[in-house]
Amino acid sequence: MEPSAASPVQPMLAKAVDAVPDPDSVLGGLSYEPKWDGFRGIVYFDGSKVEIGSRGSKMLTRYFPELESAFARLLPGPCVLDGEIVVRSGEPGRERLDWEALSQRIHPAASRVRKLAEETPAMFVAFDLLARGKDSLLGTPFGERRAALEALAGDLGDPIHLTRTSTDVALARHWLVEFEGAGLDGVVAKPLAAAYAPGKRLMLKTKHHRTADVVLLGYRVHKSGSGVGSLLLGLYDGDGELRNIGGASAFSDARRLELIDELAPLVLKDDDGAVVTGETERSRFSAGKDISYVRLRPDRVVEVRYDQMEGARFRHTVQFFRWRPDREARSCTFEQLERPIAYDLNRVLA
């Protein structure tokens, strides 16, 4: 069936791998491209009307009016594009992707949407072509889809960009390190001979892997009401203030219950013996959710695995690795974190 806004397609997904794979690991070879850190977008253009679908098929069109008008103006004919919506910020020559600015674009007020469209305009990085005219390309090998995408959208100009690709694995491994400085978060490898597989993890993604020693601030009770749902984590800044930097979750049912007993000696209590709780800052993504947590004495250090930072917080939920009883909590500062060398986003887009 031809993909359309009336019958939206589920985006093809990627499976995580530890390292950028060799091209001969997949029959037919691999094409490599940077992994963009934004909102996945499927653009449906029927020749006059534009709709932008999300990874979950929810329409994002109303939040990005500047992209809607750009697609209608620049696209040469009906088509369906797969790509990423991103926002950039920074001084000329030192621009990078800005996840925080992008996340602010999802707002219920139309007046706010219009204002942000002018202040922090988005751009679209296309990396696949799913239909052209009335012809579906879902069954076409990626190598051919990429060539068709280049012919259709290679010279459209800002705010529509075409992601770069290469079949050189050494170059892809270089991108993994270098492009992080512009806010990108990895490399994607796509089988050249593969058809588009909606909802399937046919692509391979390699992201950055790091560890950090952080201070345990508290925990949230699991949504089931039993056991620890997530751990709240912190680091000391240059002024000696302990700052919340994110959380770790994804514990098994048994481990959640074990953590309740394991952390009981650290639970803070008031003079009447009642458990002391706190609340994290509420965002539009936590609207309607319970943001309370049980406060703990900041004595326990935990080593976690993470991929990247966004400002002073972990960009994604991190993974618990191990307790670090050999570390003093006060020694866990932001200075330990590895920071990528700045790299201008425009050089990635070139």
Active site residues: 35
> Which residue bears the tokens 């048994």?
254
Is it true that the peptide bond before 65 is cis, omega within 30 degrees of 0? no
Inter-CA distances, 6 with 48, 56, 65, 129, Å: 15, 14, 20, 18
CA–CA separation, 154 and 125 (whole Å): 11
Cα–Cα dist 76/145, whole Å = 17
Length of the chain in residues, anyone? 350
Q: Amino acid identity of 2?
A: E
- Residue 309 forms beta bridges with which residues? 314
Distance CA 35, CA 295 (A): 37
- Cβ atoms of 81 and 101 within 8 Å: the answer is no
Bridge partner list, 228: 221
Could you tell me if 209 and 25 are in contact, meaning their C-beta atoms sit under 8 angstroms apart? no
